[in-house]
Structure formats: C-alpha cells, structure tokens
Structure 1
Amino acid sequence: MEKREPVLSMRDLAVSFQASFGKIRAVRGVNMDVYPGETVAIVGESGSGKSVSVKTIMGITAPNAVIESGTIKFRFKENGKEQVVDLLKLSKKEMQHRIKGKRIAMVFQDPMTSLDPTMTIGRQLTEGMRYHLHLSQADADKRAEELLEMVGIESPKERMKNYPHQLSGGMRQRVVIAIALSCNPDLLICDEPTTALDVTIQARILQLILNLQKKLGIAVIFITHNLGVVAKIADYVNVMYAGKVVETGKAEDIFFDPRHPYTWGLLSSMPDLTGDKKERLYTIPGNPPNLANEVKGDAFAVRNPYALNIDFEEEPPMFEINEHHQAATWLLHPDAPKVEMPQTLKKRIEQLRREEKRYAETEGAYGTDE
C-alpha cells in the first residue's frame, strides 16, 4: 500500500508576542498533520492559540510576533515536480508569489473584512486568477462565473457587477469561498467562517465547504469553538488549550471516547436540545491561564477537578490511546488512579451515538446543497 504523505506537517511550533510587560507565549509547541481530502478541526476556548497557529501557516503574523521554534512543511507540485518547503523559511515575497492564495487559501470569520468595498465582486474574483494563473481577462471572467455558480450563487454574470454591500452576509461568504478556491489551492484554511451568519445560512455554508472538498479533493483546516460544527465536518480533531494541543484523534475518538478532562468539559458544555430544559448548562470552572506568566506543570490543572499532585509540578506528555488518538493528561499514566468521565457526559455520548446513527440513516434522504 502506498504511503500517504501529509500536505502540511507542523512540528513543535512555538509563537510568542512581545508586550510592554514581557513575553506572551501564545503557541507552545504545536504538532499537526493535514492530509489531502481530509478536514482537520481545531477547537478550544478563545485565546487557546487556534488562530495564531494557522495564521502562522499563511505568514500572517503581528509585528510583535516572534516564532520561537518549529517547522511547517508544505508539500505541493510546481512545474510538474513535487516540492516540500518549510513555510517558516520562505521570504514574504516567496509566500506571496508561490503560496498565498495560490496553494493555500484562507476564509476568515467576517466576509466584509475579506472583501474590498470599493471593488466589484467580478474584479475581486478575477484579480488572483490573473496574477497567479496568468489568465486573460475573458478566461478569468468565465472561470469567475463558474466559481460563483459552484458556490450556489444565482445569476453569476449579474452578481459579478455587484459590490459587496449589495449582497447578503451568506452570499458574501460564498463569494469569499469562491475567491479562496479560484486558484485551485491544495489547502483551504477556514477560521470560524460561519460565526457571523445566522444558523440556517451556517448550515448551508458548512455543507457547501464539505461538497466542494469532496469534489475538489482539497485538504481543509477548520477552526471553530462550536463542537456541533466539528461533529458534522471533521475527520480529525485537535483540542487546544493554553497554546498546546491537549488531545488529538479522529472525530469519533474525540466525541465517543474523550480522555482529557478539558475535552470532557467542552463536550459537557454543549447545549443539549433533547434533554431536561431546566438542567443548567455545564461551564468549565475558572479561567485559562495568563500566558505572560510561566506555566508550571499542566496548564489545565487549576481548573481540573481530577488533577493529580504531579499536574502542578510536571507537564504531561502525549499518551497514546490508539494509533490515531493521543491525549496529554497524567490520568493516562499506568500508575494513575482510575478516573471515569462524568456520568452526565456518558449519557451525552450515548445520545450523540444515537444522533449520529439517525443522521447517517437520513443523510441521503434530503440530498445535498450543491
């Protein structure tokens, strides 16, 4: 069997920010692999390092950001030959000419910050294609219309003449996705692309991204804090806390066999639409640590009701649960006391299994939103 190679492989990425009061260690040694045709979701609370990690892939770093360590190897074809480059070693000019928009594209949270209000949709769609693919204006226009149709926008020829303010939020986000896909990227990064949209439009945009991924075979990194979204789209999940990945695995590992107490907390805090309406929604106690201070031991220890003495002294390594599932918690050490996940979460997981079975049975019944 041919060995699959990741399109992107991140190792030991550490990023800090220089502030007047010292150094903020926003990302503290992140590892991640993304394979062609698969979606890797990154979840965690605000400030866990999700966006900083992926913006570093794109070379979008703040002026006070310092890359302390790490490599980001990206695999792609150029002039018919396979290339592997470390994105952290490329100059800004190389990133602009060879990578950004062409081979790695990004969809941001708010489409209005991604679109130029003074330019027509058509011009914004064709600009990248003319620059990266060297298409004539006529060919770029033709492809732009095809892309708008692909993302579900009716009357594409007319929409090309519109300005962003003339479109709804959902349509603007579809345009942003069309721009991101315009140069046939190998990797699409979505940074909370549905947060600013209402629930029905969110579902359509998610289905659109899934359909396009299947059709085009691209790799997707999807950042979100919404675990309901993750359940629908992800093949693999990285759970981040305080600048580190604390649990990683296939989506079924994370949802049906979570091992880190932080993941337990995230899953327990998901709203349950079928349960007791009077039951209070679970919240993880306390606040994430201030990463301007040195973190001793496990960063989650002070919020963890199952913390062991060693959690306050030493940072846990990644313990392997199976070949694709790992978690960084001392509870997985062979000498640790046996701790089971909360009963309420067990019930929630049983319910998730039932919902997944129901979803699988009815998935084909309604068709897809292509």
Structure 2
Amino acid sequence: MPEAKEKILQIRDLDITFRTTAGPVHAIRGVNIDLYKGETVAIVGESGSGKSVTMKAAMGILASNATVTNGSIEYTYRNDGGNMETVDILKKDKKWIRRNVNGKRIAMVFQDPMTSLDPTMSIGKQIMEGMIWHYKTPKAEAWKRSVELLKEVGIEDAEKRMKNYPHQLSGGMRQRVVIAIALSCNPELLICDEPTTALDVTIQAKIIELIRKVQKERGISVIYITHDLGVVAKVADYVNVMYAGKIVEKGLINDIFYDPRHPYTWGLLSAMPDLETDDERLYTIPGSPPNLLHEKPGDAFAPRNKYALVLDDKADPPMFRISDTHYAATWLLDPRAPKVEMPEELKTRLERMKKEAEKYGSEL
C-alpha cells in the first residue's frame, strides 16, 4: 500500500491566479497530487489545462504575474546534514529554492531543447555549471563527470561534444544534453515537461526509453507532463487527468486506461490514433477549453460533455471514490445520476488494448 512508501511530494488544494491586462485568470483550481519515491506520475490534458503551471509552482519558478491564493506544496528530502526534512516550497523565498531545490534536488526537462540551452555556451560548460554552483565541484572533476553523463545519456564521442555549441547538435542530441544537465546534480525528482514534443517519432521512443533507464538505475521519481496518452501508457504508474486547472480523474495506469469514468478521459482515449478502429476520421472532443477569464458556476467540462446533467451547470462535482486508487470528479458517479456507460467503440478499443498488453506481457 502507498502508506508504506516514502512520500516525497504532496500538493494540496493548490490555487493559482494570473494577473493579466484583461483581468484575473484562475488557472489552477484546487489541485491535489501525491508522489512517492521511485514512482512515475503522469499529468495529462489538453494545452492550457494547467499541467506545466502546477509543476513550475513546485519548482518555485512561476511567472511574476502569478499569485498562489491557496494551498501547500510539501517536499520531503534528505538535507545536507543527512536528516529527512519536509518543507512547504510555497513558504520559501526564491533564493532558498535556487540554492536547495532547483537543479540540486528537483530538476526539469523542458519540451524545447533549443530554448533550454544557452546558444553562447559550450555543451560542457552548461553541464558543469550546476555541479560547480551547487557543490563547489573542482573544474577538472566536473569535466570528467560531464563526459560520463554524456555517455550515460547515449551521446557518442562525448569528449568532442563537450566543446560543441547547441546549434551544432541535432534535436535528439540536444534533448539528451538537457537530460544530462538535469541529472548532473543527482536530483531525487525529475520533472519532464513534454520532453519529446519537438522530436520525431523514432527519437521520441529513444528519449522515453532513456528516461526510464535512468530512473531505474538511479531510483529517482519522475513526473511526466504530457498530452500524449501513448507516452503515458509506456511510462506511468499513476495518472492525473487535468482539465481547466482541475484534476478531473486520477488513478493507477490500469484504472485510467481500462476503466475510465470521466467523459473527458473517454474523449482523450477515443482521440488516440488506432489502426484497428472502424472510424474513418480521428475522434475529436467537441468544442474548445473554457476561457478561465470568465469563470462560470458548475463543471467546466459541461459545455463539451454530451452526457452533462442539469446539475453540471449549477455545481462543480466533488471527487467521487471508485476504488482505493481511483477517483473521478463527475456527477455521473453520484448514486442519484442516470447510469451512463462509456461509448461502445471505446469499450471495444480498450478491451483490444488490454488483450494486446497481456499478450505482450506474456511474451517478455
């Protein structure tokens, strides 16, 4: 049971509002996330649902126009004295976070490696920088360690690459360098923000495999931010489905993929490309995400939900418990609600996926 595991990150009731020229935007609305040591948690949802903002808050790198109006982000780590300590990152100043958290204990891999790297600095200097700043590592030792890191992330001719500049590398190699930088200070938590979006399909698979390999070898925890459920299926232990700044369904990977309960999750799964489907057109969720400048009462997903009830326009649904590991925020789970099954086409697809997974598992 999770209670026996070591919890390293606990986000509770997180609320974030952005000040804009058009007015306040309530971007994050009561988010709760738990992460245990060695686990992989995925946060999925469409662009603008609040995935990256939530994790930027955990790293203390929110934009200057963002205000945290409620909540806590408790991070448990082993301090420099070797003792376990729990801190609320939201109560710490930026200087403390830079010195004790960013890069050192929590590292982030951003989605576009070209904007993550400094074009005026050599690859070697960028990998060495964190070690020298956080741990006062001597330059010769930092150089040697950087070469080892480049080899670890699969870059050949590492000594030569240390002297290269970002523009001299391909997209896949740049992303490997970004991962090497993220790993340079031995973080306990790696946040991967759409790490494969800017890469072609074959390189995507290699980067995902690399992150899995590093996680297994080092025993670190990983948070994946993505809209690609295909990636989630390969890497995650636990999934949080996010919509309009709120988590609408969460559960173990099998809960979400084989027994989804929220109509939004049904839509996301139906929109995955599938060679076996009878439909000629790829499914899309009707409508578009809500404008959070104009918050309305009720469920934010209601205007796009063909199963919406009258109550959805009046009250935001609470999180209903489906099992010990599985929860969803939809009024369809209320005992008084009419019984609604997931679309038949999706049910057939999920059964097919399950059989394929079992077959694949038995052949390993």
State TM-score, norm by structure 2: 0.97
Give the Cα–Cα distance (whole angstroms) in 2 for the partners of residues 353 and 98 of structure 1: 43
The residue number in structure 1 matching 2:53 is: 52
The residue number in structure 1 matching 2:65 is: 64
The residue number in structure 1 matching 2:303 is: 302
Stretches of structure 1 that go unaligned for 5 or more consecutive residues are: 365-370
Match of 2:4, SS state, is coil
The residue number in structure 2 matching 1:3 is: 4
Please identify runs of 4+ aligned residues in structure 1 that moved more than 3 A: none
The residue number in structure 2 matching 1:22 is: 23
The residue number in structure 1 matching 2:256 is: 254
Give the Cα–Cα distance (whole angstroms) in 1 for the partners of residues 288 and 176 of structure 2: 36
Give the Cα–Cα distance (whole angstroms) in 1 for the partners of residues 102 and 180 of structure 2: 15
From 103, 124, 127, the counterpart of 1:125: 127
Give the Cα–Cα distance (whole angstroms) in 2 for the partners of residues 22 and 255 of structure 1: 38
The residue number in structure 2 matching 1:319 is: 320
Q: Determine if the alignment matches structure 1 residue 231 to structure 2 residue 233.
A: yes
Match of 1:345, SS state, is helix
Match of 1:322, SS state, is coil
- Deviation of the 1:296 alpha carbon: 0.7
- Deviation of the 1:302 alpha carbon: 1.1
Kindly provide the CA deviation profile for residues 27-50 of structure 1, in whole angstroms up to 9, marking residues without a partner as x.
Answer: 011000011111110111111111
Q: Determine if the alignment matches structure 1 residue 77 to structure 2 residue 92.
A: no
Give the Cα–Cα distance (whole angstroms) in 2 for the partners of residues 344 and 312 of structure 1: 28
- Deviation of the 1:156 alpha carbon: 1.0
Kindly provide the CA deviation profile for residues 95-137 of structure 1, in whole angstroms up to 9, marking residues without a partner as x.
Answer: 1111100000000001011111111111111110111122111
From 167, 176, 180, the counterpart of 2:182: 180
The residue number in structure 1 matching 2:272 is: 270
The residue number in structure 2 matching 1:88 is: 90
Match of 2:215, SS state, is helix
Match of 1:291, SS state, is coil
Give the Cα–Cα distance (whole angstroms) in 1 for the partners of residues 176 and 114 of structure 2: 12
Give, as a single letter, the amino acid of the residue that structure 1 aligns with 2:300: A
Identical counterparts, % of pairs:
64
Stretches of structure 2 that go unaligned for 5 or more consecutive residues are: none
Give, as a single letter, the amino acid of the residue that structure 2 aligns with 1:180: A
- Deviation of the 1:279 alpha carbon: 1.8
Kindly provide the CA deviation profile for residues 235-284 of structure 1, in whole angstroms up to 9, marking residues without a partner as x.
Answer: 100000010000000011000000001000110111112334x6211111
State TM-score, norm by structure 1: 0.96
Kindly provide the CA deviation profile for residues 123-176 of structure 1, in whole angstroms up to 9, marking residues without a partner as x.
Answer: 111110111122111111111111111111111111111111111110110010
Match of 1:60, SS state, is coil
What is the aligned length? 362
CA contact under 8 A between 2:277 and 2:349: conserved in structure 1?
A: no
Give the Cα–Cα distance (whole angstroms) in 1 for the partners of residues 205 and 91 of structure 2: 38
Match of 1:7, SS state, is strand
